[in-house]
Amino acid sequence: HDENMDGTTRERLSHIQGIPLLERVVKYWPRVEKFQASEEDLLIATYPKAGTTWTQEVVDSILNEGDVEKCKRAPTQVRMPFLEMTAPDGSSSGITKLEVMDPPRVIKTHLPIQLVPRSFWDAGCKVIYMARNPKDTVVSYYHFDRMHLYQPDICLVLCKMGILGWGSWYDHVKGYWKERHNKKILYILYEDMKEDPVREVTRIAQFLKRQLSKSTIEHIVQMTAFSAMRENPMANYSTIPDTIFDRTASEFMRKGEVGDWKNHFSAGEDAAFEEHYRKIMSDCPIPIRFTI
Ligand code: A3P
């Protein structure tokens, strides 16, 4: 493994068009930028910790009509590669995995909309974007960072200020929101999916033009519930080695709830955050809820 002078593995952030990204994402950027998407490919785009893995599992379950065994054919990162990511040792990457897969491919990205490779838009690909309220997103990011030994060392204060890999949460959620009617973007919210997964899974299936029975939808909701995914080795990232994910620090499938931010924001911090949030979101009223 690449190690820093002090024996730790944490990476720095570098920039592409002003967006902070892991150094290794920047290093391999040219091959991401020129990736050729095909019309049948589906892009799942999120800000980190917004419920990406959950959306991926729901999509794969829909495409496989609720067939549990098919969905367990391989771990998440193999079934639905992470477009811009390269392994810390450079041994594998989203692009190298995608190159040997035939379309239709389901592809994960955390890129803000302006950095999504052009070919996705030229080909007219469908995109599913999931957003999650920023307080829970930041808390989840913070805990993920504690376990991910290659992420830059961040603290909750920096998280709250938005100095994070993949840039500003605000710009990210707004970027896709503003384009949702111009492009084939289905915009979904983590809190809505928690509140009524049958309704949201049905919306996703309709967007993907899959006719599924009510019982199949209900089965998919059960398969993709937090408790089920947490126990599923093909959906819980247990295949990522301990040298990358330090599970003594935190878990990938941590809580999966709406409102855990209440355990991390003091009343003062919350008031300051709310004021800032209202100001910045005033030009873009995405119906994001902080509690359900
Ligand atoms: P918490 O840290 O709040 O528990 P991502 O996949 O974008 O990295 O997001 C990870 C977050 O989604 C984690 O949040 C994780 O627990 C949560 N998550 C994963 N699967 C989920 C599911 N089936 N239902 C609800 N939340 C889920």
CATH number of the domain encompassing residue 166: 3.40.50.300
ipTM score here?
0.99
Alpha-carbon span 98 to 266, nearest angstrom: 44
Alpha-carbon span 292 to 289, nearest angstrom: 7
The verdict on residue 291 lying in a domain is no
pLDDT tens-digit readout, 102-144: 999 999 999 999 999 999 999 999 999 999 999 999 899 988 8
User: Does position 154 have pLDDT exceeding 70, yes or no?
Assistant: no
Residue 51 CB less than 6 A away from ligand 1: yes
Percent of the chain with pLDDT over 90: 76
Query: How many structural domains are present in the chain?
Result: 1
* Least confident span in 26-30, 147-151, 212-216: 147-151
* Least confident span in 15-29, 59-73, 240-254: 240-254
The verdict on residue 254 lying in a domain is yes
- 28-45: average pLDDT: 98
Q: Let me know how many helices (H) and strands (E) the chain has, helices first.
A: 15, 6
User: Do the beta carbons of residue 59 and residue 205 sit within 8 Å?
Assistant: no
Higher pLDDT, 6 or 67: 67
Residue 292 CB less than 6 A away from ligand 1: no
Alpha-carbon span 143 to 287, nearest angstrom: 25
Query: Cβ-count burial of 186 within 10 angstroms (0-12 exposed, 13-18 middle, 19+ buried)?
Result: middle
Report pLDDT for 268.
85
User: Do the beta carbons of residue 97 and residue 80 sit within 8 Å?
Assistant: no
Q: Whose alpha carbon is nearest atom 19 of ligand 1? A: 54
The verdict on residue 6 lying in a domain is no
The verdict on residue 172 lying in a domain is yes
Q: Containing domain of residue 212, as a range? A: 13-281
Tokens read off for 263: 């355990």
* Separation of CA 54 and ligand 1 centre (Å): 6
User: Does position 160 have pLDDT exceeding 90, yes or no?
Assistant: no
Helix (H, G, I), strand (E, B) or coil at 26: helix
